[in-house]
Amino acid sequence: MNKQIFLNLPVQDLAKSKAFFEALGYRFNPQFSNENGACLVIAEGSIHAMLLTEAYFKTFIDKPVARAREATGMLICLSCDSREEVDALVAKAIAAGGRAPRPPQDHGFMYGHAFEDLDGHLWELVWMAPPA
């Protein structure tokens, strides 16, 4: 069996978060979605993010929920197939209400940019040249 990753992220408004990621071109798996959370499919069969209402997220933890807009506790990094894909996803995120926290970083063999989603979670997008 292949390993899968399920990130669990608290969100303030599930409907708005779903619309945000759909605007980026992602889809949700209805089999693992309901009024408490939605399964964002990042890479079919391997990478998913469970967007959970904050109230439901709290049922899994015994500490306060971190406020991603105030502090960064995690940086989610996703690979892209090209520099153009990196830029296109950041542009879609901004158009959907997210923000770019900094300019793109070009290291020659590696190119990256980032966006914050509606809840302040930081998503780093990176493309690496094949020889790298």
Can you give the residue range of the structural domain that contains 98?
A: 5-128
Q: Are strands 27-29 and 37-43 parallel, antiparallel or unpaired?
A: antiparallel
Where does the pLDDT of residue 131 fall: very low under 50, low under 70, confident under 90, or very high at 90 and above?
Answer: confident
What is the pLDDT at residue 54?
96
Nearest partner of 127 among 75, 81, 77, judged by Cα: 81
Q: Model pTM?
A: 0.92
* pLDDT reported for residue 2: 84
Position 1 pLDDT exceeds 90? no
Q: Decide: 125 and 24 in contact? Cβ < 8 Å.
A: no
Mean pLDDT confidence for 23-48: 96
CATH number of domain containing 100? 3.10.180.10
Please tell me the predicted confidence (pLDDT) of residue 130: 87
What is the distance between the alpha carbons of residues 54 and 120, in angstroms, rounded to a whole number?
14
Q: List beta partners, residue 48.
A: 6, 41
**37-65: per-residue pLDDT in tens?**
999 999 999 999 999 999 999 999 999 99
**What's the rounded Cα separation, in Å, for the pair 48 and 114?**
18
For the cut 70, the answer to whether the pLDDT of residue 36 exceeds it is: yes
Task: Note the pLDDT of residue 132.
Answer: 58
Residue with structure tokens 């995120």?
A: 93
Number of domains the chain contains? 1
